[in-house]
Amino acid sequence: MTSKSNRETRTASEVKSVEDAARIEKAFRKRDRKVLVNRISHVSIVVKDIYESLSAFDKFFEFVRDVRVETIPEQGVKIAIVSFDGTELEFIQPIQPGTGVARFLERHGEGLHHIGLEVSDIKETLKNVGAKGAQLIDREPWHGLRGKTAFVHPTSLKGVLVELVQPAPESEE
């Protein structure tokens, strides 16, 4: 009797999931606006030492070929960027104590820091997500490594810090 009951419960939950998926798909089709996010720009990992981290990732996955290293003194970080078919893996190392990245590393240790989402119009995206109640770290975009940048607070996105990125036109790079 127990196995039949579990099977029935599982079946009922599967039906509910299918019904939920159909409802969500129907709501998405009703949208008359364009999608705000074009693609995942990058995934950022906070580390104690970018060179040690690159070595560890390469040891297991053998993917490190071309690495771009940038130091951004005004943010107190050194960044190593590895590209894969248009998406980047970014290793961030704090080089000054007291910065946001340094505090993050102290509190959480090494690991996922944020996900970068590419958008076409960062000001419009900030306006839209702010109007929907997202807590914005940056109300106005600023110039970052990849173009115009702004962050959305992780409390609005299930604990995930999101960087919105509007790439600089090729003539500005």
Q: Which residue has the tokens 């036109």?
A: 169
Residue 51: give the domain boundaries.
Answer: 37-172
CA distance 140 to 134: 14
Contact 154, 161 (CB under 8 A): yes
**What is the pTM assigned to this prediction?**
0.80
pLDDT at 86: 82
| Tally of CA atoms within 13 A in the half-sphere of 160 that contains its CB | 10
pLDDT digits (tens, 9 = 90+) for 127-156: 999 999 999 999 999 999 899 999 999 999
User: In this structure, are 91 and 58 located in the same domain?
Assistant: yes
| Amino acid, res. 25 | E
pLDDT digits (tens, 9 = 90+) for 6-19: 555 555 556 567 77
Q: How many residues belong to the chain?
A: 173
- CATH number of the domain that residue 145 is part of: 3.10.180.10
pLDDT at 118: 97
User: In this structure, are 90 and 164 located in the same domain?
Assistant: yes
DSSP 3-state of 77: strand
Local mean pLDDT, 10-residue blocks, the chain (173 residues): 51 66 71 78 97 94 86 94 90 96 96 97 96 96 94 96 93 53
pLDDT at 157: 95
Count of domains forming the chain: 2
User: In this structure, are 113 and 92 located in the same domain?
Assistant: yes
CA distance 16 to 63: 41
